[in-house]
Structure 1
Amino acid sequence: MTVLNLPARIGDRPQTGPSVPHVQLSQHSPDDVRERLKQWMTDHLDGAVIRPSEISEPGSLAFFLDGTLPPPNTVLLPPRLNAEFVHVHTDGSLHLALSKQDQHELITKGWGERHPLYSPTINVVMLYGPRTDEELQIAQTVIKASYRYATGHDVPATSSREPDRQRI
């Protein structure tokens, strides 16, 4: 797996909830940045079905493998561990599955943290919600790494999504 090469995040880490639901309590993503992130994910994550999360709080937008790309031997988000690979919370933070190397980079550079229930069989890390255009680009880079981890493929440079497949 390709290892992320992130810059250090500027500023203090946001406050997050210590248990489930694991949400970001401070430094929320501005509405316009959060909406652009969701639109980018909708437009660029080919081979993903978009629907409510099976595990997250109501209002979270989740992306699931649709079966067109056979997944490598990976552990994704609960409860099924083989379908949902990322979701965006209403506060702009995300939960996603990443390789061990990418998790280490995300955490040590200050961009996220492990979920309180994280274990070898529950591969969930939080990516803090992007606050600026620069952080939005970092979030896209991390989401691409999650997509690559889940599918074994890179995010296509151009989307082949048809408009009617965008929201399910």
Structure 2
Amino acid sequence: MALLCGPNFFYMTASILIGSAIITYLLKFIQLDIRPFMSTKPGKIIETTATKVCERVVDMLAISDPLTPPSSSITRSSRGYLETLPLRRGSRPEVQGISSPVQRSQLPPWEQKNVQDRLRNLIIEIPEKCPVSTYLGRSTFEPASPTSLYARHRAFNETQYYGEIISANTEDGFIHSSLHPSDVRVVIEKGWGQRHPLSGRLTARLTGLVDANQPSPVEGSKVLLYAPRNNEDLDVIGKILNAAVWWVGGIDNSFDNEQVVGSTEW
């Protein structure tokens, strides 16, 4: 148990992730196509073994309880965007997965396709309104792909960070997003979502080690928003999306212009 909690575990995990990143970049640099090898029996064995190892490492990095609000120092030093939210009716849906969680129950019925269309439109309209601060991901325009929104500029700990604001599977409405840790607390307490399994302190640090181009996200800011079941749910999700744009994008898109509201001062 001491190994899993102490600095040795941290260095071991960091070494695995950094080593994997180095190998990936090296293969890309020398333009070596390993697909023919991976289709062979030894290649498949290596791939299966690597997948199992990665799953074990990711499982050890996951937070113990996604319904426990984050205890980030930011929640004590600054306020979030959301003052309050109405209580979500009904029980919480079933969410499975660690690195790429998916919602398994309480999905919008197919006959309510207007809910999915409205969700997609909510996201697409944001960069139309705030083109200087936000833009849509390329996958947004591909069939059956998530609708993704990114920030053009933002500062985390005085470091420029071009981060993902929202990634929504608009076929079922399940949303991956980033919020101010105080807003994550409100979302959890009112039943509209839960923390991403990989939103802990250790994961935030390792993210910066593996990808130098993406500075570490703030601990506890990654959140999963449950799929809206009807238009009433979607109205609340719309408010939460505004909070995400404010947190990662640094602007309040509820205004008609791209007025900066000072979120980059944290």
Smaller-chain TM-score range?
0.7 to 0.9
Post-superposition CA distance 1:77-136 (Å, at most 9, x none): xxxx63211110232110110011100000011000111111132532101011111111
Q: Does 2:177 align with 1:87?
A: no
Q: Which residue of 1 aligns with 2:96?
A: 17
CA contact (8 A) 2:134 2:149 kept: yes
Aligned to 1:63: 149
Give the TM-score, by structure 2 length: 0.51
Q: Is the 8 A contact 1:4 1:142 kept in 2?
A: no
Task: Tell which structure's C-alpha radius of gyration is larger.
Answer: 2
2:155 to 58, 72, 91: 72
2:134 aligns with one of 35, 45, 48: 48
Name the stretch that deviates more: 147-156 or 100-109.
Answer: 147-156
Taking the aligned partners of 1:38 and 1:111, their CA distance within structure 2 comes to 18
Partner Cα distance (1:65, 1:151) in 2: 5
Kindly state the Cα deviation for residue 73 of structure 1 after the two structures are TM-superposed.
Answer: 2.2
Counterparts of 2:154 and 2:116, CA distance in 1: 28
Superposition deviation, residue 3 in structure 1 = 3.2
Q: Which amino acid aligns with 2:117?
A: E
CA displacement, residues 8-50 of structure 1 (integer Å, 9 cap, x when unaligned): 1000101111423201111113432011111121113423211
Q: Is the aligned partner of 1:117 residue 2:215?
A: no
Corresponding residue of 2:235: 137
Distance of 1:60 and 1:3 partners within structure 2: 25
Give the Cα separation in 2 of the matches to 1:18 and 1:40: 26
Structure 2 residue 7 is the aligned partner of structure 1 residue 7 = no
Q: 1:32 matched to which residue of 2?
A: 114
The unaligned stretches of length 5 or more in structure 2 are 1-79, 205-216, 259-266
Question: What's the offset of the Cα at 1:158?
Answer: 4.0
CA distance in 1 between counterparts of 2:126 and 2:164 reads 16
Higher relative contact order (CA 8 A, sep 6+): 1
Q: Is the 8 A contact 1:52 1:60 kept in 2?
A: no
Give the whole-Å Cα distance in 1 for the aligned partners of 2:250 and 2:257.
17
What percent of counterpart residues are identical? Answer: 27
Deviations 1:112-164 (A, max 9, x none): 0111111132532101011111111100000000000012221144479xxxx
- Contact preservation (8 Å) 1:4, 1:145: no
TM-score with structure 1 length normalisation? 0.78
Q: Once superposed, what is the RMSD of the aligned Cα atoms?
A: 2.3
2: CA distance, partners of 1:40 / 1:82: 21
Aligned length: 148
* Structure 1: distance between partners of 2:102 and 2:138: 16
Structure 1 segments unaligned to the other structure (5+ residues):
75-80, 161-168
More helix by share: 2
User: Are residue 126 (structure 1) and residue 254 (structure 2) matched?
Assistant: no
